[in-house]
Structure 1
């Protein structure tokens, strides 16, 4: 352990003489904002709409067989090239939903809220980040999306939107 040398009276007086003409400075710094909370914020939609949308989401339905590779789906009757266009990044998502850390039940509610929000705001593309983790949400989210009538297509997101841990979803929008 290092011992700090004590100051002599002469050192203290020398310091006081050196700062004798000093005056306090005015505060000119920008105050820092507190860090953002890590708690996820939900999209505000009306209370009744997500509940109505949950009708489309059954946990028992297995319409999409997840094999661990690229996820791709186009609703029957839609242009079969939509998935390829999503893969290329030709559609830019207007909103991103991050499901990391949510339970299956909460993720289902958030996804329903996202789809309703996209309808209200006339957004035709969204990014759903489910993460890789245990793979539970990676398997469930495609099956939930297939059940919703407003989902036209979805595909594994391009690298800059999350790649294997995210989906780009193309939606039907109401006529303006």
Structure 2
């Protein structure tokens, strides 16, 4: 049902209305084809619940409040209690070659913690027993945090400041326990 519009209130004169009606005589209505518009395919979303669960499992061991390691000198050195105390010396001399290297340069503390957890999970999965973590010198934030995170993880047997070829004071060589 169409509503009649008063031409005087719309501001259209009778002459303009008559001219319009003459111009549209013979016009045919367009038939609607009713084809819906094509919608672009949506991107598949990642299963964040699975990814978040895996990340939470890897980060379980790391606490920012824990400060169990305090560096006494220029070199960082730690051996898990009950393990061979000579492991750090062997790491220092370069008897173990890292099979994987993780570079944390430019990362925030949160990103670095997640990457370190991922590295340790990867090493356990691939049965890698030696890794190098390059934390850099910079302001020393990661240089202080990384050793405290490492001593909390049960798979870390020992770590020592890396030899010059692997980054010296900006890196740590890790010795990990490999479960068969």
Q: Same fold (TM over 0.5)?
A: yes
The whole-number CA distance in structure 2 between the counterparts of 1:84 and 1:153 is 10
The match for 2:85 is: 80
Q: Which runs of 4+ in 1 moved over 4 A?
A: none
The match for 2:179 is: 174
What is the number of equivalent residue pairs in this alignment?
130
The whole-number CA distance in structure 1 between the counterparts of 2:89 and 2:73 is 18
Q: Answer with 1 or 2: which has the greater Rg.
A: 2
Task: Tell whether 2:150 aligns with 1:164.
Answer: no
Which structure 2 residues correspond to residues 106-121 of structure 1 after superposition, within 5 A?
Answer: 106-121=111-126
Give 2:105's match in structure 1, choosing from 93, 100, 105. Answer: 100
The match for 2:69 is: 64
Offset of 1:67 from its aligned partner? 4.0
SS at match of 1:147: coil
The match for 1:36 is: none
SS at match of 1:56: coil
The whole-number CA distance in structure 2 between the counterparts of 1:50 and 1:165 is 26
The whole-number CA distance in structure 2 between the counterparts of 1:51 and 1:69 is 33
Give 2:136's match in structure 1, choosing from 131, 138, 141. Answer: 131
Offset of 1:95 from its aligned partner? 0.3
The whole-number CA distance in structure 1 between the counterparts of 2:118 and 2:86 is 27
SS at match of 1:164: helix
Cα RMSD (Å): 1.2
The whole-number CA distance in structure 2 between the counterparts of 1:79 and 1:50 is 31
